[in-house]
Structures are given as structure tokens and as C-alpha cells.
Homo-oligomer: A and B are copies of this chain.
């Protein structure tokens, strides 16, 4: 496995450059957030500054229902990105999930994924990350423990990305035993969360995850970054294959709605193409507890902690204003706000 690592490192680096520099969205498929609208309330009878957005994740309080979602970076970028994100998360009181720890675990301690990260973000939920393929076998439990330990994480994301793996050369093609592996982690009492990477978790998949004991789920739906297109940019070989999946996936808005129906008690995270605080509010209205963002934060993350803080400050202010002009005093009220179809 470790002989694959240089390749993986290069791939992860490519990802960052492609996501930042190329058009990697879907063609016509969208998150479908644009299909619903809130009804403007011109008489809010609220004070904007008293709207309360506080939430919780893996037992820790956060000041707004926002998660900085998992992004791997490769050797050139990862350390800086992780530092900027961790510092911003701590400053604003947001949850922070790091990218895949696979290389780091295989080669020990690289990419800024050490306990130093926890020191930068001591008070917020910090979440590790492994791929489905890594936890299929019995050794999965041990690996997951090491991943959590490595950064003193509050939780661990297992990402399910079968299409991304199928498209990329050398990706994992055998996905038998993944559900059993997840169940094993849950039984071992580990704080597991499961996510896709941008094609969405279906109602049926959410159902099976809940059955396996998973309590925290991130739908990571379609409409934002299309990983098939990202892979398509990386070399002629896969272009036609990747192109066929340009419209693949479950739109984020639909995924959240369905997931909530299937998992009424789970902590539900909505990510996948969420652009701003109005869309974050729609995600919460549709059933999400927490809203995650990855690609949209990448530009700031590469640059500085301050840019990341600025980015999320605006997102949170927008979410607050959305509460305001729907007449919602907080997240619970927002979940009751009236919605209309935007036809």
C-alpha cells in the first residue's frame, strides 16, 4: 500500500490545483436549493444581534452550525491549509474536519496532521478522516483508533467515494465489506461519522448506515464539486469515463430532505455545493443540524487564517440575516419557517 503513496500525494496536490483553477461543477445538475425559497418577512419583530446560532457536534458546543469539511492537500499545501483552517475554526467556534489521514498514517505524522493541530483548535470539535477501503478489514478498528489518536479527534469521518475510486487509475475497486467495517467501528464505541465526497448519500444508504449504528451523517450531495470532472482533468485515459458522470449524483437539497426522513434522530450534516448563508439556512430548514463547506473555502484556506475567518464571518452573518428576514429568532424557529417552491 505504501508504495502507492507518492502517487496519492501527487494526486491530492493536483486536486487542489484543479478545484481552484478549473470549472469542476456539474453541467445542469444542481444542489436544487434554488428550487425552494423562503417567504420574506418584512415585519420580523426581532433584534438581529440577538439571534442565536449555537449548536453542538460530537458533544462540543459550537457558535454557529458550521463545519469546515474534510480536504486533503498533498505535501505542498496540506500543512498551511490545515493550520489556517484550525486557527479560524478556533477563533470563530466552528467544527473542523481534516482531510484523509491515509498517507499520514502510512508514513507517520506528515502533512501537518499531528497533535499540533489540536493545540491550534483546542476547544472546537476536531474530526479525523479515513476512506471506506481502509476500514473494510478487521484492522480497520485499529487504524481508526490511530487516526483519532493522531490528532486527538472528537470524531472520525469515514468517506464513501465509490465513484471517485472507480474513475481514478489505481482506485479501490473492491467495496465488499464496507458496511460491516463501519458497523465494527461503531460497535467498538468509536465516534464515527459517515460521508460521501459530493455525489450524495441516498435514503437507502442512510438507512443502512443508521442500521449499522452510525449517529452522525454528512450527505455531501451533488451540485457543487464534481469529482468525476476533477479526475477527468487529470489525464486523457479517464476523460470519456469521467465525462459520462458529469450529471451523476443526488442533489444536496434532496439528499438532506431524504436523509432526515430516514434518520430522524441522527446528527445530520449538509454539505455539497452550499454557497452562502441563505443556502445554509435552506439546508437547515430541510433537516440539517450542521452545514459543511469544503471547496468554497479552499481559496481562503490556501492563503491565510484571516481570509478563512473573513469567509466564515460573512457566511454566518448571512445565515443570521436569513433568520432575521424570515422572522426566525434562532435555528429552531428557522426549521419552522415557511418554504415555497420556486418554479
Q: Which residues of A contact B (CB under 8 A)?
A: 28-29, 34, 37-49, 160-163, 166-167, 173-179, 196, 199-202, 204-205, 208-209, 222, 240-241, 243-245, 247-250, 275-279, 314-315, 317-318, 321-322, 324-325, 342
4 smallest CB-CB distances across A and B, nearest first, come from A244-B276, A48-B173, A42-B160, A47-B174
- Taking CB atoms, residues of chain B closer than 8 Å to A48 are 166, 173-175
Q: Which residue of B lies closest to A320 (CB)?
A: B166
Supposing A167-B321, A324-B166 touch, asked if A247 and B176 sit within 8 A by C-beta, the answer is no
Say whether A249 contacts B40, CB under 8 Å: yes
Say whether A247 contacts B200, CB under 8 Å: no
Supposing A46-B175, A174-B49 touch, asked if A39 and B163 sit within 8 A by C-beta, the answer is no
| A223–chain B nearest beta-carbon distance, Å | 12
Say whether A166 contacts B49, CB under 8 Å: no
Q: Which residue of B lies closest to A180 (CB)?
A: B45
Say whether B325 contacts A244, CB under 8 Å: no
Say whether B325 contacts A248, CB under 8 Å: yes
Bound CA span A262–B118, Å: 56
Say whether B173 contacts A241, CB under 8 Å: no
Bound CA span A34–B324, Å: 30
- Taking CB atoms, residues of chain B closer than 8 Å to A314 are 240-241
User: Among B45, B240, B342, which residue has its beta carbon within 8 angstroms of that of A175?
Assistant: B45
User: Among B42, B166, B177, B245, which residue has its beta carbon within 8 angstroms of that of A162?
Assistant: B42
- Taking CB atoms, residues of chain B closer than 8 Å to A200 are 40, 42
